[in-house]
Chain A
Amino acid sequence: DTGVSQDPRHKITKRGQNVTFRCDPISEHNRLYWYRQTLGQGPEFLTYFQNEAQLEKSRLLSDRFSAERPKGSFSTLEIQRTEQGDSAMYLCASSLEAGGAHEQFFGPGTRLTVL
């Protein structure tokens, strides 16, 4: 399967714990995005990378959230000191920046439940 993959698919944690999610984009894609989606809402942009550089972060991304993309390949999203309000589906997407339109390919998401 050459699509975007995310791991784990589900994560249940207790409030205050740290969690880390991984995203493996489509191999030739140079852009990688993280979104968060809650029930009944569309995905909300969190941050994006072009190759290994993190070029933009949403105001939604508090300082408890950090994302990395070492070597411009896979990416990790870490949430420190989780809160119940962090419960959501975390989606990763990738695209090929080649000038013009940016169709994004999404992974299956990681569903986080904070108890």
Chain B
Amino acid sequence: SQKIEQNSEALNIQEGKTATLTCNYTNYSPAYLQWYRQDPGRGPVFLLLIRENEKEKRKERLKVTFDTTLKQSLFHITASQPADSATYLCALERGSQGNLIFGKGTKLSVKP
């Protein structure tokens, strides 16, 4: 069955630096890979989606890459701010139904 690993449980960086989060999967390459942000006590919020035939996607300070050979996605936040502190979840779509398989998440802390 598909397994997803996010490289670290926690990542601490200094304000202004680029945060890079990793998502690795073990089995088939999904058609889509999604990234969500989750704040404590709240539901996840969609950030970006990348298709298997796309190498890179950008949205403001966010960038996602998708390497189906390495079975890996990287999520970058440039010019990070303390407000970016949250847990970031990687998710793969399973089949055509749209239900998502999530990683455990990486908790990002941006220090001023």
Contact = CB atoms under 8 A, between A and B. Distances in A.
Partners in one complex: yes
B89 A42 contact: yes
Given A91-B43, A105-B46, A41 B104 contact: yes
B51 A104 contact: no
A41 B46 CA distance: 17
Contacts of B91: 42
Nearest to B46: A103
Contacts of B4: 42
Contact of B51 (A101, A107, A109): A101
Contacts of B36: 106
Contact of A56 (B42, B93, B97, B105): B97
The interface size bin for chain B is 20 to 34
Contacts of A111: 41
Nearest to B50: A101
B41 to A, nearest CB: 8
A109 B98 contact: no
B99 A43 contact: no
Nearest to A9: B41
B99 A33 contact: yes
B80 interface: no
Given A102-B32, A102-B98, A107-B43, 13 more contacts: A33-B100, A40-B9, A43-B44, A43-B89, A45-B99, A56-B97, A95-B98, A101-B32, A101-B93, A103-B34, A106-B43, A108-B42, A109-B41
